[in-house]
Amino acid sequence: MPWKGEKDPYKIWLSETILQQTRVEQGMKYYENFIRAFPNVHTLAKAPAERIFKHWEGLGYYSRCRNLIETGRYISNDLKGNFPCDYDSILQLKGIGTYTAAAISSFAFNLPYAVLDGNVFRVLSRILDIETPIDSTEGRREFSELAQSILPLSKAGEYNQAIMDFGAVVCKPVPECSICFFQKNCKAFLQGKQQLLPVKEKKIKIRQRWLNYVVIKYRNEVAIHQRTVKDIWKQLFEFVLIETARPSTLKQVLKQFEKQYGISSYKHVKSFTETTQKLSHQSLSFTFTMLELNKKDKIENCFWTPLSGIEHFAFPRTIKRFITENLG
């Protein structure tokens, strides 16, 4: 992996930000593309936000990208490009929590701070047979104190990387116990409890949403707008959205569209098969309906862009796939 053994705090920060909520296999290509486009914090800070979002397109959890932009500009402009070199100062940066601060501190500066991510939770809970829920206040405190107590202070960075890699490669959610050198010392393995650990006490409540997109075309142009509300995909682009509280028929969607935008002169070109996308706390159902206008109307909160230039805008993953398959 390209960030292994890296000592540049900018590159470590970038890799850790990308890998939050992202599989290594997926994150690697994004990391490499980011480093090529923005090799240092100054190039990141000077880049337009839209360009950075375009490089982030498809990774999801876009608040990470917003924090990346804000923190990069702060380091470049306010700190003159000097990345903070102590744990407390790193922790103060926007978008950086205790885990990322520990990772940057130990990897870049070998400071004695233990990392505690999902991999480390899993390794420690299984080897030591700890059933305290990792998502509880008690559990976070217990595991944090444990991780710090066993950290070899002189090799903090090396150890942190090793235990994270061990959790990613061997002690995975479905563990590779047959190749694990901890077999004789792993309390969970000796009791056949590997799949039961770590323990979580909270169940995530999933919100169901129905997103009905109306793709409005006029000749070789299409109407889009940028999401600005505090919600998923803030600052990304989308088509006209009719969100409903339950599944809706085409007739119902068009009726609401006409009422909301005052447009009734159009040709219904095509409707597309419904698709879904799962987020951490939301389940999204999408429909896409393509309309061709008889004249180029002004559409509230939208602007017209040529189809040939639509690839310059950053869209949520499902909308991007729709564009590629149907408007490319």
Structure tokens at 66: 């917003």
| 268 vs 274: CA distance, rounded Å | 17
Tell me which amino acid residue 70 is. E
**What is residue 134's three-state secondary structure?**
coil
- Kindly name the residue from 16, 57, 221, 238 that is annotated as catalytic: 16
| 276 vs 287: CA distance, rounded Å | 9
Of the candidates 86, 149, 155, 154, the residue with the CA atom closest to the CA atom of residue 116: 149
Is 221 among the catalytic positions?
no
The one-character DSSP state at 94 is: T
Tell me which amino acid residue 96 is. I
Task: Find out whether 40 and 301 touch, Cβ atoms under 8 Å.
Answer: no
Neighbours of 243 (CB within 10 A): 11
| 80 vs 15: CA distance, rounded Å | 21
174-186 as b/e: b if 16+ CB within 10 A: ebebeebebeeeb
- CA separation (Å) from 7 to 1, 11, 69, 107, 273? 14, 8, 21, 6, 48
What are residue 218's phi and psi, to 5 degrees?
A: -140, 110
| 265 vs 292: CA distance, rounded Å | 9
- CA separation (Å) from 194 to 122, 174, 183, 202? 9, 8, 11, 20
Tell me which amino acid residue 209 is. R
**Catalytic site positions:** 16
